[in-house]
């Protein structure tokens, strides 16, 4: 089962709202990722969790707050976002470590900030 699930599929929020994006995988992967993707651009890495610990933060603004409650779940908490944060947010997972590890993506959450 090479499936990563994400909820919600679509989210519209105001700049003062607090919301969360959720991601789940049951492939036994120990590395999980959040990406942001704008139209006609490649995915842009935001955060990497390895063995449930944050290992990479690509200088993401603090209005985005990741959380990894366990090895299967990854959340992204959103607060006081700006309209330019509107994008497709993709979660991905892979085996941890440095060998030939394929990365699998969820279907994404399409976020609109008003």
Partner 1 sequence: RKEVEQDPGPFNVPEGATVAFNCTYSNSASQSFFWYRQDCRKEPKLLMSVYSSGNEDGRFTAQLNRASQYISLLIRDSKLSDSATYLCVVRGTYKYIFGTGTRLKVLA
Task: Map residue 75 onto helix, strand or coil.
Answer: strand
Query: Interface with partner 1 includes 45 (CB under 8 A)?
Result: yes
Would you count residue 26 as binding partner 1 (CB under 8 A)? no
Of 15 and 56, CB closest to partner 1: 56
Q: CA-CA distance, 1 to 86, in Å (whole number)?
A: 30
Helical ranges in 1-103 per DSSP H: none
Q: Which of 9, 10, 28, 42 binds partner 1 (CB under 8 A)?
A: 42
Dihedral sign for Cα 77, 81, 83, 85, please. negative
Q: Can residue 77 be called a binding residue for partner 1 (CB under 8 A)?
A: no
Binding site for partner 1 (CB under 8 A): 33, 41-43, 45, 48, 50, 55-56, 88, 90, 98-108, 110
């Amino acid at each position: 089962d090479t499936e990563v699930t994400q909820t919600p599929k679509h989210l519209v929020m105001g700049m003062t709202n607090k919301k969360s994006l959720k991601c789940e995988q049951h492939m036994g992967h120990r590395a999980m990722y959040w990406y942001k993707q704008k139209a006609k651009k490649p995915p842009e890495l935001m955060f990497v969790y390895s063995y449930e610990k944050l290992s990479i933060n690509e200088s993401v603004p603090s209005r985005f707050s990741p959380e990894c409650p366990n090895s299967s779940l990854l959340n992204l908490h959103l607060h006081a976002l700006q309209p330019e944060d509107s994008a497709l947010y993709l979660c991905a997972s892979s085996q941890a470590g440095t060998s030939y590890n394929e990365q699998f993506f969820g279907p994404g959450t399409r976020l609109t900030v008003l």
